[in-house]
Amino acid sequence: MTNQLKCIALLFVFLFSCQNAKYEDEKSTDQNSQIATSAGGVVSSAHPLATKAGLSILEKGGNAIDAAVATGFAIAVVEPSMNSLGGRFQAIIRESDGAISGIDATTQAPLSYDPATATQSRNGYPTIGVPGVVKGLTTLHEKHGTMDLATVMEPAIKYAERGFQLLPLAARRHAAAIDHIRKYEGTSRYFMNGDTTYLAGELFVQKDLANTLKLIAEQGSDVFYKGEIAEKMVADVQANGGYLDMESLAAYEAKESKIVKGSYRGYDINSLWIPSFGAITIEMLHIMENLPMHEYSEAEWANAFFQANTWAYKDRRRQDSEEMADLLTSKEYAKAKLDSINMQNGKAAAMAYLPDWMTKDGHTTHFSVADKDGNMLAVTQTIGPNMGSKVATPGLGFLYATTLGGYLGDFKGGQRAASHISPTIVTKDGNPYLVLGAAGGSRIPTAIVQTISRMIDRNMNLPDALAAGRVHSVDTAALVETHEGSSWSAADIEELKQIGLEVVEVDRTGAFGRVHAVYFDSENKIWTGSADPDWEGSSEGIEN
């Protein structure tokens, strides 16, 4: 080899190494830990890069709220089929002084929307309502954050502008929606790579989304709801048969959520009232509190949960007033429910029908964050089913949620979309204990309740509680998680059948909700973050 060729070869190696180094922190590999412990704070999310975004803010001295805002914007970039800037947002926050509050920024029907004359559809422009994520994240930051918005948005902008390697499950979700993606100009521009969607491991770059994020970082939420981003959204949606308008965007606000409260065996449960399903989550726990869950076999525990799930879910349509919130979360009401359950016979009456809201790969994303001072919060973001409405406006780079058209029911103008989202905070004697939430449609409250019961009733640590097998009631059948690695044994399944349950075995991973949570060991002052083992998420903590 001549000296000239050697120089060329060395130059190639150098450039290749630099390129790899440039994207080293954007890579997502199996080496990312799903469990982390730290006295300084922990982030647990559904995507390793979103977790790293939040952790980087904690490392710079930001609090848990700053870290959550960074995580929220980042996960809208790296998990775009599950959530986006065009989606719904719900958060519950515990501040270091013990104060608990919530933010409701779910999607909303435009003010002049009339369901009687509107086009009914499962996806497309007619399903787009007023997005809430941007207002939710910026309001969270304004109320509780300590760092400037541009700083906490830096990781999200970097991931969008430089790109990141697409994870296998994300690539599969994109591929599953390819026929819808091809229908819309903007969606096709962002998610097609030639004749196919992007494959796992390929670099996924979103330049237009990066520019949208930069505008928000520079000008705040006004540019999204009143400025040039709003104008582009409305022009595109209205040109294609949708209902979004400037007046509805300008009037949209993130509201303070009503906190619903309960208790479970001495632990205080805090969650969110409609448009979240926190009352149903608490109702299940209150029913179960009347039963000796710690004494049961696995099958008996599953049957008891199945009964609580079935009877509490009958009340989903009754969440229509604050008086009803008090009723559904009362211990007396739960005891009355229990009296109608025959625990010797696993049969349960059929539930009133509600959409199960469960696609093959699930939907929605959740993350939990805590810091050294005791600030902690749970945030759930979603666009509905896989890839939401399937629509992205050319030039903006993000998908819109499915809201209108019957997916979440019929809405009058200005009404907000309710869903099974249920971010929850558990405390003990005023101290932090557990902050959690889940993704997975109607399986969200059941995944949360089973995690809490596994820890309190079955004395499991957080990672084991997330890995343990779950059940879920649909009509009179008990869906049971039986994929490889599930904790349910053949003997457990047989015992469930002997109890009298109609058992349907489900061997798909991720089909029973995906919980991302943080636990606090008050004795040793240590946080433990754990990501659901059925997903591709991670947990990371500040180095002690």
Residue 346's closest CA among 443, 476, 447, 494? Answer: 476
The residue annotated as part of the active site, out of 51, 364, 365, 482, is 364
Is residue 275 reached through a cis peptide bond, with omega within 30 degrees of 0 on the bond before it?
A: yes
The CA-based angle 201-24-165, given to 5 degrees, is: 20
Packing angle, helices 48-59 and 149-162, rounded to 10? 150
Cα gap 29→302, rounded to integer Å? 34
Is the CB of residue 167 less than 8 Å from the CB of residue 47? yes
Cα gap 133→209, rounded to integer Å? 14
Give, for 524, the enclosing helix (H) or strand (E).
Answer: none
Residue 106 annotated in active site: no
Packing angle, helices 298-313 and 444-456, rounded to 10? 140
Structure tokens given for 104: 């409701």
Cα gap 213→501, rounded to integer Å? 50
Burial class (CB in 10 A: 0-12, 13-18, 19+), 92: buried
Structure tokens given for 308: 């609580």
Cα gap 120→316, rounded to integer Å? 23
Q: Which residue has the tokens 């448009």?
A: 275
Cα gap 207→161, rounded to integer Å? 5
The CA-based angle 322-324-325, given to 5 degrees, is: 60
Catalytic (active-site) positions: 364
